Amino acid sequence: MPAQCEVTAKVAAGAPMSVFERYLTVWVLLCIVAGILAGQVAPGLFQAIGHLEIARVNLPVGLLIWVMIIPMLMKVDFAALHEVRQHVRGSSKGWYEAPLISHGVDTNEKA
């Protein structure tokens, strides 16, 4: 049975929630408190981050929203991510070699 069918079957059967899902509200509250404390400890750092803007768009916020939205648009099946290693083809470092090779950087160079 394909992984997608197994995941769908588990969801349909009412699979129990994980610890992360069960206590999601607690994790969110802890992150809010940690952010407030970090802002009190290092206000200059967070003011500098707040000033990173292009066209009146805050870059860290834009990046984080992009990271949150793109997997949904691409319909990423997070339940099947643990199986990615079984289906890897080719070089494991190909994802970063291609841009370097296109710019003439030797990735096998001895230091």
pLDDT for res 84: 73
* Rounded-to-integer distance, Cα 60 and Cα 92, Å: 29
Distances (CA, A) of 38 to 34, 44, 61: 6, 11, 17
Question: Does this model's pTM top 0.75?
Answer: no
Residue 52 confidence (pLDDT): 92
Half-sphere exposure of 86 (CA within 13 A, CB side): 5
Look-up of token digits 């970090």: 38
pLDDT tens string, the chain, 111 residues long: the values are: 555 656 566 655 677 888 888 999 999 999 999 999 999 999 999 999 989 999 988 999 999 999 889 888 888 787 777 777 777 665 555 566 666 666 665 555 555
Gap between the Cα atoms of 22 and 93, Å rounded: 36
pLDDT value, residue 78: 77
pLDDT value of residue 42: 95
pLDDT value at position 51? Answer: 92
* Euclidean distance between CA atoms 44 and 50, whole angstroms: 10
Per-residue model confidence (pLDDT) at position 94: 59
54 strand-pairing partners: 57
What are the b/e assignments for 30-56, b being 16+ CB within 10 Å? eeeeeeeeeeeeeeeeeeeeeeeeeee
